[in-house]
Amino acid sequence: MTISHHVFTVDSTKLSATSEVALYPHKPEDSRAFCTKRYALSFHLPQILETLPEQFCYHGGYSRYCTCKLKDENGNDIFYQVVFRVWKERGKMRFHVESAYPLPNRPSKIKKVNFWVICHNLLTGKKLPKPSSR
């Protein structure tokens, strides 16, 4: 399992003023700035990823999957979208978290994708679940 720097950074071109100190220096071709909110939420990722089979997973578009609900310290729901992709490489399942960010509202009209179906299809060479056509 791998995790992208997008879980603790934001697109620096969308910020009004970015100091050089806040810029993430390790990927100059992907201009990103450190985000304290995303960074704090990223500490939930190990628990989210360990419990993926119990999470509500759904299609994130572009062959990606998402999960997005967690509780804050007061028991309130936080809609934290964790975008991941899966593939098989050298006979092993690979998971990569591409991004993770808070959402202002609960996503609407999402359909659950069973995590075990994703795993089964990946291991048996079947096509991964895709969103239904509307």
Q: Identify the CA nearest to 34 among candidates 5, 3, 8, 7.
A: 8
33-51 pLDDT tens trace? 888 899 999 999 999 999 9
Q: Is 12 left (phi over 0), alpha (psi -120 to 50) or beta?
A: alpha
pLDDT digits (tens, 9 = 90+) for 96-133: 999 999 999 888 888 899 999 999 999 999 998 887 66
Contact 98, 6 (CB under 8 A): yes
Global pTM value: 0.83
Tally the residues of the chain.
Answer: 134
Per DSSP bridges, beta strands 77-89 and 92-102 are: antiparallel
- For residue 48, what is the enclosing H or E element? helix 45-50
Tens-digit pLDDT profile for residues 63-73? 788 988 888 88
Segment (H or E) for 120:
helix 115-124
Q: Which of 52, 123, 41 is nearest to 79 (CA)?
A: 41
Q: What residue segments make up the domains of the chain, in order of their start? A: 2-124
